[in-house]
Amino acid sequence: MFCSTDDTANIIWFDISYVDTISSQADITRFFADNNVNIRFGYLDNTEHAKTGKYIIFTQVEKSVDVDKLVVDLKGLDVVHDVEYGISSCKMVQSVEFPLNLLGERAIIARATTFVDIIRTLYENVSQSDGLLMLSGLKGGINAARYFKGITTIDENNFKDILKELFMATGWGILDIECNCDIMSGRIFVHESFIADSFKKSERPVCGYMSGYFAGFITEVVGKTMQVREVRCKSMGHDVCEHTISLAPQGAKLEHLLRGESI
Amino acid sequence: MIRQPNVIFGNSRLLITMGRKGELFGFFYPRRDYAQHVEDSLACIHNGDKLLWLNSHEWLSTQEYIEDSNIVSTELSHDSGIKISILDFVHPEVPILIRKFKIHSEKRLRGKFFYYSNLNVGEMDKKNSCFCDSDEKLLVQYWQDYYIGLKGIPDFKEWQVGKSMDTIWWTNAKYDMEDGKLQNNKEDIGQLNSALGWDLDIEAGGETEITVLIGAAQKRTRLYKRMRELANQPIDNVFEKTRDNWIMWLSKKNVLSLSVLGEHNMAKQEMFSAYNRSLLTLNLLNDEKHGSFIAAPEFDSNFEMCGGYGFCWNRDGVEVVLALLDAGYPEYCDRFFKWCEKTQLSDGSWFQRYWLDGNTAPSWGNFDYSTQIDETGATLHAIDTYYRSLEGIAKVEFLEDMWALVLRGAEYLMKRSRRGVHDPCIDLWETYYGRFSYTNASVYAGLVAAAHIAEEYNESGLADRWVKHADFVKMKTIEKLWLSEGYFAKGIVDKKLDPTVDASILGMIVPFNMLSPDNREERAMIYSIIKRIEDKLRIKVNNHYGILRYEGDNYIEGNPWIVTTLWLSKTMLSLAIAIQGEAGSEKQVQQLVIDATNYIKWSLRGTTSTGLLPEQVDKFTGHPAWAIPLGWSCALMLDNIRLLDKIR
């Protein structure tokens, strides 16, 4: 999301459906330049159909410009199928289309602090908040893995790469995964964890939601019950967040816990 | 979490509240107010591929009571061709819930039947302990002296006891069910959940039956014996016994003829059903041991959106016991007034609300200025009403038992209404501070009642003093609160007259009789009040009109209330009875009866699918809203039908 403080201009977004030729995008960009419209941000989406594409452009336009005429002229380009547009009266524009979609579900953009505020509130008010966060993450991880299973092949060989890219794409963090899939044992390092970064200082690991997410994701992919625990956390002063991966012990009898066997 | 039930059932020690898909919302043992042991408890099918939770949107459901009983039938159907019938009832003598599942499948079904529970025994979400006795095939969860047990018929084949909210998520029974196989962990402590499993192997078009027993006891050994004994009895016999028990209880009621409805058999049947259902519901809201009643089964125990309903208010309690008295169940009065004797405060008043055992409940009325004086007036009024119904030795004994209570209560009312209008306090809706028409009427009625009892007790000096003051209260109330527009103001709030039209001014007529339909001048005032309320508080929902509590009410969306609607119809019927027989009154009586009947029918359109009367009706959807079922609504339904029965 971005906003402008220039009172003489409007922020206008255009959703342009176009014929996907080698010069289409150049034609559209040139049109805006010729009409003295300043493109601030934009993105292309050519994934939905083979021969058509979508060009989302956020512009800053002098208030004196006749926007309706601009749109009519834009629609007149040979490469353009249709144009939708909107003027942001508060000069605030989202940088992605609405409603946003992620892994087949409705998604939103939220600041990391929003998520961390929820975590803090849980810590302060809810007993067993670690368990609650772990279970919430678990659900998210399971659902994400199920989504990937539905659209591609995902198994012990490639889940690490998919998980890494997923975390990067969503802005959650940068992953290094070391995992011996024969014995299902290893570690996940999370650089720039959005939770730890936003949480700042803590005396205990705060990325339990991510541990749950990893556990759910890997369990769903490999079909074995996994335990994931955060053993180092950037919020505690460590360089990086580290989660250990292991097979969950059979059951969890109290005596095992007391002997530390499941930890 | 706030979850309103669609149905309730139980016995004297166990109250169950349940959703429309057979999911348990509440398991109250040993009292109706405490402890509520269940967070979740429901069945689930694993079809070999995935879990089909019975409370998911994938199932269509219908739910109703077996006629004249507190036995519930729930029918569920799933797109995949699975149909499940659940028969739910509580054994008449012991606190054991019997849940008989009949599973039918159009296609071959190989999978599992799971029964999942997340119990907070003793209302504790920690320090619980759970174990599965695999020899006895009994799963038990306990905290202190609360033991809850689950057993199957046939025996369950697998189980899981796990932590419901811990980082060791793989022990969580809910997750353990996902793969269709349980781990058979035998015991654990903390915040727990559990699952029981049975193999399902149903041929296409076939069916199978599984019964789940959920019992409660104060000792482990007692629980074992109860569960073992019941599991050995033919469940169909227990069902018959339970049904007979309810039919027997209902047979004590005063029988209705409802001749005023003529040959309208549908309307009559609807009223008969509502009468029976209200009686059966009030039975379930009563604490047999202490005599008190919950206003409604608790559904907001964290007070997230209101102050909760699972407590006893004198205001509601007296409405309920007088309705039951009139319907043929005087024993509830006797027990309730004994409870009042124990709960009366040293100054002669009653607290805002109580736990059923008589302890004071969480309250926002801890001071003189925040108490609710009307509850004291209403209690004295009800005691006298009951007293007048008694004869012989019972009457003498009751008078002896109650005299000290009446004396203290009356003196309290005297003290709080010296200037003829009561001291500032909270109104009956528990929302405003001030001096209110309704509360004044209750003071008047309480003093008149106390005076009558004093006369009977040969205390004519006190009687004279109290009745004179009652007349003074009446005079001052009319002088200060009757408006030239023809109705009573809501009250005096912030030292200013508040002319808001409030349905509670009907209390001037019923039950407190400050205005009598027998007095022609006052009768005109009554007509005027009715008209004002209809003009200002009617709202169209479900093709007719319900009555709001007061102008500008915004509690839970400002819906019309069953209580206020039936209060208006009760007033109309009381008026009709008072004037019937007077020359030339036929048309007036007929119109009053038609209007009242329409309000009663409107109230019945706002019930749950099982016929439970709620507190409110959602003004947008017409569905039952908020507290379900509300005892006061049921009491007013009984009153209305009994009055209707008296119209000739």
Question: pLDDT for B569-596, tens place per residue?
Answer: 999 999 999 999 899 999 999 999 999 9
- In 3D space, the residue among B19, B401, B627 whose CA is nearest the CA of residue B617 turns out to be B627
Q: Which two tokens stand for residue A178?
A: 């070391």
Is there a single domain that holds both residue A132 and residue A184? yes
Mean residue pLDDT of chain A comes to 89
Is there a single domain that holds both residue B143 and residue B271? no
A115: number of Cβ within 10 Å: 16
Q: What does the pLDDT read at residue B315? A: 98
Chain length of chain A: 263
Mutant choice from A135, A184, A246 vs B, greatest count of B C-beta within 10 A:
A135
Nearest-Cα residue of chain B relative to residue A250 = B183
A263 is a domain residue: no
B501 and B550 Cβ atoms separated by less than 8 Å:
yes
Q: Quote the minimal CA–CA distance from A262 to chain B in Å.
A: 8
Is there a single domain that holds both residue A93 and residue A142? no
Is there a single domain that holds both residue B400 and residue B484? yes
Residue numbers in B near A211 (CB within 8 A) = 167
Is there a single domain that holds both residue B527 and residue B427? no
Would you call A127 an interface residue with chain B, using a CB distance cutoff of 8 Å? yes
Q: Which two tokens stand for residue B372?
A: 């609710």
Is there a single domain that holds both residue A51 and residue A109? no
Backbone angles phi, psi at B75, to 5 degrees: -115, 130
Number of compact structural domains in chain A: 2
Q: What does the pLDDT read at residue B325? A: 98
Backbone angles phi, psi at B612, to 5 degrees: -80, 135
Task: Check A252 against B171: CB less than 8 A apart.
Answer: yes
Would you call A211 an interface residue with chain B, using a CB distance cutoff of 8 Å? yes
Residue numbers in B near A145 (CB within 8 A) = none
B1 is a domain residue: no
Task: Check A254 against B189: CB less than 8 A apart.
Answer: yes
CATH classification at residue A67: 3.30.70.260
Task: Check A131 against B171: CB less than 8 A apart.
Answer: no
Give tens-digit pLDDT for B75-117: 999 999 999 999 999 999 999 999 999 999 999 999 999 999 9
Mutant choice from A225, A247, A256 vs B, greatest count of B C-beta within 10 A:
A225
* Alpha carbon distances (Å) from B239 to B72, B154, B236: 11, 17, 5
pLDDT at A255 over 80: no
Show which of A51, A75, A98 is a domain's final residue.
A98
Mutant choice from B170, B181, B182, B185 vs A, greatest count of A C-beta within 10 A:
B170
Is there a single domain that holds both residue A113 and residue A56? no
Q: Report helix, strand or coil for B561.
A: strand
B474 is a domain residue: yes
Q: Quote the minimal CA–CA distance from B191 to chain A in Å.
A: 9
Mutant choice from B125, B164, B168 vs A, greatest count of A C-beta within 10 A:
B168
- In 3D space, the residue among A148, A186, A146 whose CA is nearest the CA of residue A166 turns out to be A148
Is there a single domain that holds both residue B462 and residue B525? no
B331: number of Cβ within 10 Å: 14
Is there a single domain that holds both residue A74 and residue A167? no
Strand segments (E) across B489-621: 491-493, 496-498, 538-541, 544-547, 616-617
Q: Which domain holds residue B71?
A: 7-224+233-250
Helix boundaries (H) for B251-353: 265-285, 314-327, 331-343
Is there a single domain that holds both residue B352 and residue B429? yes
Q: Quote the minimal CA–CA distance from A150 to chain B in Å.
A: 15
B160 is a domain residue: yes
Q: Which domain holds residue A9?
A: 2-98
Phi-psi region of A51 (alpha: psi -120 to 50; beta: other; left: phi over 0): alpha
* Alpha carbon distances (Å) from A178 to A135, A189, A219, A231: 23, 8, 16, 15
Q: What does the pLDDT read at residue A257? A: 56
Backbone angles phi, psi at B215, to 5 degrees: -115, 165
Residue numbers in A near B188 (CB within 8 A) = 252, 254
Is there a single domain that holds both residue A84 and residue A23? yes
B44 and B53 Cβ atoms separated by less than 8 Å:
yes
B188 and B163 Cβ atoms separated by less than 8 Å:
yes
Amino acid at the residue A27: D
Would you call A10 an interface residue with chain B, using a CB distance cutoff of 8 Å? no
Which band of pLDDT confidence, cut at 50, 70 and 90, is reported for residue A251? low
Q: Quote the minimal CA–CA distance from A164 to chain B in Å.
A: 23
Which residue is listed with tokens 């009892």?
B453
| Contact pairs from chain A to chain B, CB under 8 Å | 52
Q: What does the pLDDT read at residue B468? A: 98
Burial state string for B567-598 with b = 16 or more CB within 10 A and e = fewer than 16: bbbbbbbbbbbbbbeeeeeeeebeebbebbbe
Task: Check B169 against A135: CB less than 8 A apart.
Answer: yes
Show which of A36, A70, A98 is a domain's final residue.
A98
What are the beta bridge partners of residue A45?
A54
Is there a single domain that holds both residue A128 and residue A43? no
The sheet with strand B146-153 has its strands ordered as: B59-65, B72-78, B82-90, B96-105, B206-217, B146-153, B138-143, B128-133, B187-190
Separation of alpha carbons B612 and B19, rounded Å = 12
Task: Check B183 against A250: CB less than 8 A apart.
Answer: yes
Q: How far apart are the first and last CA of chain B?
A: 48
Give tens-digit pLDDT for B510-552: 999 999 999 989 999 999 999 999 999 999 999 999 999 999 9
Q: Report helix, strand or coil for B376.
A: helix
Q: How far is CA B27 from the centre of its chain?
A: 15
Q: How far is CA B9 from the centre of its chain?
A: 11
Separation of alpha carbons B36 and B18, rounded Å = 13
Q: Report helix, strand or coil for B320.
A: helix
Separation of alpha carbons B35 and B243, rounded Å = 26
* Prior bond of B560 cis (ω within 30°): no
Question: In this structure, what DSSP letter does residue B422 have?
Answer: P
Q: What does the pLDDT read at residue A263? A: 41
Q: What does the pLDDT read at residue A50? A: 74
A250 is a domain residue: yes
Would you call A190 an interface residue with chain B, using a CB distance cutoff of 8 Å? no
Is there a single domain that holds both residue A121 and residue A227? yes
Q: What does the pLDDT read at residue A127? A: 86
Residue numbers in A near B193 (CB within 8 A) = none
Chain length of chain B: 648
Is there a single domain that holds both residue B158 and residue B32? yes
Which band of pLDDT confidence, cut at 50, 70 and 90, is reported for residue B136? very high
Q: Quote the minimal CA–CA distance from B152 to chain A in Å.
A: 23
- In 3D space, the residue among A171, A155, A130, A166 whose CA is nearest the CA of residue A223 turns out to be A155
Q: What is the pTM of this model?
A: 0.89
B133 is a domain residue: yes
Is there a single domain that holds both residue A78 and residue A124? no
Is there a single domain that holds both residue B392 and residue B434? yes
Would you call A134 an interface residue with chain B, using a CB distance cutoff of 8 Å? yes
B31 is a domain residue: yes
Over pLDDT 70: what percentage of chain B? 100
Q: What does the pLDDT read at residue A7? A: 79
Residue numbers in B near A230 (CB within 8 A) = none
Task: Check A252 against B163: CB less than 8 A apart.
Answer: yes
Give tens-digit pLDDT for B160-215: 999 999 989 999 999 999 999 999 999 999 999 999 999 999 999 999 999 999 99
Contact residues, A window 230-259, toward B, CB-based 8 Å cutoff: 248, 250-254, 257
B300 is a domain residue: no
Q: How far is CA B376 from the centre of its chain?
A: 21
Show which of A98, A117, A150 is a domain's final residue.
A98
The beta-carbon neighbor of B170 closest among A132, A248, A257 is A248
Helix boundaries (H) for B111-193: 173-176
Is there a single domain that holds both residue B347 and residue B198? no
Mean pLDDT of B230-234: 97
Q: Report helix, strand or coil for B619.
A: coil
Helix axes B392-415, B437-456, angle to 10 degrees: 130
B556 is a domain residue: yes
Q: Quote the minimal CA–CA distance from A168 to chain B in Å.
A: 25
Q: Which two tokens stand for residue B309?
A: 């309903």
CATH classification at residue B454: 1.50.10.10
Sign of CA dihedral B130, B135, B138, B142: negative
The beta-carbon neighbor of A252 closest among B125, B165, B168 is B168
Separation of alpha carbons A42 and A52, rounded Å = 17
Is there a single domain that holds both residue B523 and residue B640? yes
B150 and B212 Cβ atoms separated by less than 8 Å:
yes
Which residue is listed with tokens 């119809």?
B569
Q: What does the pLDDT read at residue A44? A: 86
- In 3D space, the residue among A126, A122, A116, A145 whose CA is nearest the CA of residue A226 turns out to be A145
Question: In this structure, what DSSP letter does residue A183 have?
Answer: T
The beta-carbon neighbor of B185 closest among A208, A212, A251 is A251
Is there a single domain that holds both residue B56 and residue B139? yes
* Prior bond of B511 cis (ω within 30°): yes
Give tens-digit pLDDT for A203-232: 899 999 999 999 999 999 999 999 999 999
Is there a single domain that holds both residue B497 and residue B531? no
CATH classification at residue A161: 3.30.1380.20
Which band of pLDDT confidence, cut at 50, 70 and 90, is reported for residue A20? confident
pLDDT at B266 over 50: yes
Task: Check A251 against B183: CB less than 8 A apart.
Answer: yes
A246 class by beta-carbon count within 10 Å (0-12 exposed, 13-18 middle, 19+ buried): middle
Q: How far is CA A252 from the centre of its chain?
A: 34
CATH classification at residue B19: 2.70.98.10
Number of compact structural domains in chain B: 3
Instruction: Provide residues of B within 8 Å CB-CB of chain A.
Output: 125-126, 162-163, 165-172, 175, 183, 185, 187-189, 191
Task: Check B191 against A128: CB less than 8 A apart.
Answer: yes
B138: number of Cβ within 10 Å: 22
The beta-carbon neighbor of B168 closest among A127, A208, A262 is A262
Separation of alpha carbons B303 and B309, rounded Å = 9
Separation of alpha carbons B613 and B605, rounded Å = 9
Burial state string for B218-246 with b = 16 or more CB within 10 A and e = fewer than 16: eeeeebbebbeebbeeebeebbeebbebb
Is there a single domain that holds both residue B27 and residue B74? yes
Task: Check A128 against B166: CB less than 8 A apart.
Answer: yes
B394 is a domain residue: yes
Is there a single domain that holds both residue A223 and residue A185? yes
Separation of alpha carbons B547 and A185, rounded Å = 67
Q: Which two tokens stand for residue B522?
A: 């006052």
Q: Following DSSP, what letter does each residue of A14-49 receive, concatenated?
A: EEEEEE--TTHHHHHHHHHHHTT-EEEEEEEE-SS-
- In 3D space, the residue among B2, B1, B3, B4 whose CA is nearest the CA of residue B609 turns out to be B4
Mean residue pLDDT of chain B comes to 97
Phi-psi region of B108 (alpha: psi -120 to 50; beta: other; left: phi over 0): beta
